[in-house]
Structure 1
Amino acid sequence: MILDFFNLRPDAFGLDISDLSIKLARLKRSRKGLALSSFGEVALVPGVVTGGEVKKSDQLVLAIKKAMKDVKGKPLDTKWAVVSLPEEKAFLQVVQLPQMKQEQIENAVRFEAENYIPYSLDTVYLDSQVITPLVRNHLDHMDVLLASLPRPAVDAYLSVIQKAGIMPLAFEIESLSIARSVIPNEVTAAPQLIIDLGAMRTSFIIFAGSSLRFTASIPISSVQLTEHIAKSLKIDFKQAEYTKLHYGLAGVNDPEGKEVFDALIPPLTDLLEQIKKHMSFYESHSDHQHLPVRQRAIKKVLLCGGGANLPGLPEFLRKELDLDVKLGNPWSNILPSPLREVPGMPFKDSMHYTTALGLALRGVRIDYD
């Protein structure tokens, strides 16, 4: 799997590190299936991690230790973790290679990667994954997903994790974890767009078949939406955040709710334009799906991340995009359907834990090499 530097098999918890917080989740197996054993979140002081880069490693180490100590549920019973790596630092590309034996793929990937990755291969960690075709039609080539991250960025995370007393089972980019959380059985018959609305950025993740196909990040964020409300209504950030979550886009019949709606329209219009732009780009560069042109179009959108809790957002995007837009379910591969929450973590809270739950799911799975 992508950016899997360790190949051991103990159970591990999921550790999601972002610019503003640390979240962790631990799943356990039982006769009834999987259950959430431990979870927790610690806020980070701005500047500890910026744009996915570790800036103040000592403070990050202390915050991770605090998160591990102050978990809700049962105490953590493992030092092993599957750890997220920042999406904004990752480079992904689907490439085509001639059909070849498994042992030949690594060298072929490195050779091909030089044509796509905008850095010297000596300065990045590189990994690859052969994509199972959506349609098995005896292709004369194989499609391979390349992923790379700058070595300094990964090494900084590794150093912090080790100083915190954690043994990393694997590192992986956030988009993999998110897809593992919200794509039922991790398989789709047609391409789907996942929109992860985070505190500092929004990520677009396109998943088709059993693999990622495309990722991108933009600076439109949940915090930005709150700032628009604060400025428009002339209130402080804390009050604006409360007002945003109270009214969102669903309170237009209330005078204050209408003000909130009007304040949100400019940034959400920008978001809509970015969604359309990235969908159009992908659909015009999706030959690797090997589908008829009419089947390459994205018709389903899943929302996740804390920003997805904005009231009325799925309905707004559904109307503006004329697509099937709904909230993703971070429990789709953990809890039996139709359950969407567990004691101690309401569904709205679980949207914040989408990445951590995806990491935790990998931490108890044995079907990863």
Structure 2
Amino acid sequence: MGSVLGVDIGTAAIKIVEIKKTSTLPKLINYGILRSNTHLDRPNSAIQSSALKIAEKETADLLKILIREAGFKAKEAIASIPVFSVFITLLEMPQMPEADVAKAMAFQIKQHIPLPVSEVAIDWLKVGDKETEGGIKQQILLISIPKEIIKRYQNIFKMAGLKLKALEIESLSLARALVGNNQAPVLMVDIGACSTNIAAIDQGFLKLNVFTDIAGSSLTSAIANGLGINVKRAENLKKQKGLKAGAAEYELSTLPLPYLDAIIGEGLRAKNKFEREQEKKIEKIILAGGGANLLGIEEYFAKQTSAPVLVGDSLSALSYSPEIGILKKQLGAELAIAVGLAIK
């Protein structure tokens, strides 16, 4: 069986893993990360942004550079679409035959999608049942992606010389990599450079998904402004010291906290909304993305949320070389979306 590429095109980095499925554990053959730090100086120059913009030629060129420099062999790829580029709605409907669900969804789609039906690709799947006063209702996750976005991704991968097998919402890839077969309700907080994705997963299914533009670059800007230094120096200090700077550098550790508290606040709102609507308790919070590697973030999240918190490890269900194993702690959270795509 051949290998496949999982391609995570984020707001400020492209991450690729090459994974081959075997008779035992999937094998991580290769990985690569290409960072674009232009967003630090110019926020509007991110690879893609909440404005549903992705620079096709520039992104394809970055993909080609990463593929060449890292030496990837596979030509088939599965790519993620960020949550800010899609419309996701959880619907509750009476129990009915599958044929009737399709008819009912034709009506629901017009009510919940803010674009003409002809302009979006639509999919839905049953994600569970819920007991209500009116009886047991089925929960349907409705997902729609603007066709314009799909076309852009197809163009990018064609220009990069890759065969795009499928596109998937990043939250589903994250859940596959970090939650797996765990049936308990969990909250995933994926802290990227320019956006933070927050998703509640229950019985392996996506039940709630929100995002915020407060993210890693917000913490960097707080350090830069507070210390009067340039953002690149602030980014390096953030990575080196995190929230664990010594007593002489106390200010450095406290400057990012208002923005980190804002991310935590969004997470708690999502947690409370899920628990209220689903009448279930979130059992733990899983941190992912490059922001999950911030020194001290796991302990700070746990203190502020009074919930069990762990940094996700997407490599735990893979086999890999000793060289990759040395970087396991750092890569496990950062490569989560790419891994989830490649093991789809």
In structure 2, relative to structure 1, the CA distance for the partners of 1:134 and 1:207 (3 Å cut) is farther
- What is the one-letter code of the residue matched to 2:5? F
Residue number in structure 1 paired with 2:331: 349
Residue number in structure 2 paired with 1:108: 104
Structure 1, 82-91 or 193-202: larger mean CA deviation = 82-91
Q: Identity of counterpart residues, as a percentage?
A: 26
2:52 & 2:15 partners in 1: Cα distance?
A: 17
**TM-score normalised by L of structure 1:** 0.83
1:340 & 1:102 partners in 2: Cα distance?
A: 48
Q: Give secondary structure in 2 for the equivalent of 1:342.
A: helix
Q: Give secondary structure in 2 for the equivalent of 1:240.
A: helix
In structure 2, relative to structure 1, the CA distance for the partners of 1:47 and 1:229 (3 Å cut) is closer
- Work out whether residues 18 and 52 of structure 1, in 8 Å CA contact, stay in contact via their aligned partners in 2: no
- Work out whether residues 204 and 217 of structure 1, in 8 Å CA contact, stay in contact via their aligned partners in 2: yes
**TM-score normalised by L of structure 2:** 0.88
Q: Give secondary structure in 2 for the equivalent of 1:128.
A: strand
* 2:195 pairs with one of 188, 201, 208: 201
1:110-189 alignment runs, 5 A limit: 110-133=106-129, 140-185=136-181, 187-189=182-184
- What is the one-letter code of the residue matched to 2:68? K
In structure 2, relative to structure 1, the CA distance for the partners of 1:162 and 1:68 (3 Å cut) is same
Residue number in structure 2 paired with 1:255: 248
Residue number in structure 2 paired with 1:285: 277
- Work out whether residues 192 and 208 of structure 1, in 8 Å CA contact, stay in contact via their aligned partners in 2: yes
- What is the one-letter code of the residue matched to 1:130? K
- What is the one-letter code of the residue matched to 1:198? G
**Does 2:341 correspond to 1:359?**
yes
Residue number in structure 2 paired with 1:64: 63
Residue number in structure 2 paired with 1:307: 291
- What is the one-letter code of the residue matched to 1:111? F
Residue number in structure 2 paired with 1:33: 25
**Does 2:210 correspond to 1:226?**
no
Give, in angstroms, the shift of residue 40 of structure 1: 1.2
Q: Give secondary structure in 1 for the equivalent of 2:111.
A: coil
Give, in angstroms, the shift of residue 142 of structure 1: 2.2
Q: Deviations over 1:214-243 (max 9, x none)?
A: 111101111110111111122222322222
Residue number in structure 2 paired with 1:83: 79
- What is the one-letter code of the residue matched to 1:347? K
* 2:89 pairs with one of 90, 93, 102: 93
Q: Deviations over 1:237-282 (max 9, x none)?
A: 232222222222223x4211x1112212221222232222222223
Give, in angstroms, the shift of residue 199 of structure 1: 0.6
Residue number in structure 1 paired with 2:41: none
Give, in angstroms, the shift of residue 134 of structure 1: 8.2
1:261 & 1:212 partners in 2: Cα distance?
A: 34
* 1:18 pairs with one of 10, 20, 24: 10
Q: Deviations over 1:139-180 (max 9, x none)?
A: 744221111111212211122212222212110011111111
Q: Give secondary structure in 1 for the equivalent of 2:66.
A: helix
Give, in angstroms, the shift of residue 213 of structure 1: 0.4
- What is the one-letter code of the residue matched to 1:157? Y
In structure 2, relative to structure 1, the CA distance for the partners of 1:298 and 1:140 (3 Å cut) is closer
Equivalent residue pairs, number? 334
2:53 & 2:326 partners in 1: Cα distance?
A: 31
- What is the one-letter code of the residue matched to 1:60? T
In structure 2, relative to structure 1, the CA distance for the partners of 1:43 and 1:311 (3 Å cut) is closer
Which consecutive residues of structure 2, in runs of 5 or more, have no partner in the other structure? 39-44
Name the structure where helix makes up a greater proportion of residues: 2
Give, in angstroms, the shift of residue 310 of structure 1: 1.1
The alignment's C-alpha RMSD in Å is: 2.6
- Work out whether residues 78 and 342 of structure 2, in 8 Å CA contact, stay in contact via their aligned partners in 1: yes
Which consecutive residues of structure 1, in runs of 5 or more, have no partner in the other structure? 1-8, 287-292, 363-369
- What is the one-letter code of the residue matched to 1:25? V
Residue number in structure 1 paired with 2:206: 212
In structure 2, relative to structure 1, the CA distance for the partners of 1:104 and 1:77 (3 Å cut) is farther
Give, in angstroms, the shift of residue 61 of structure 1: 1.7
2:323 & 2:98 partners in 1: Cα distance?
A: 41
Residue number in structure 2 paired with 1:51: 50
Residue number in structure 1 paired with 2:266: 274
Q: Deviations over 1:300-348 (max 9, x none)?
A: 1010110011111111111111111111111243359xx9993474321
Q: Give secondary structure in 2 for the equivalent of 1:114.
A: helix
Q: Give secondary structure in 2 for the equivalent of 1:146.
A: strand
**Does 2:308 correspond to 1:324?**
yes
Q: Give secondary structure in 2 for the equivalent of 1:30.
A: coil
Q: Deviations over 1:38-60 (max 9, x none)?
A: 21122345354333734432222
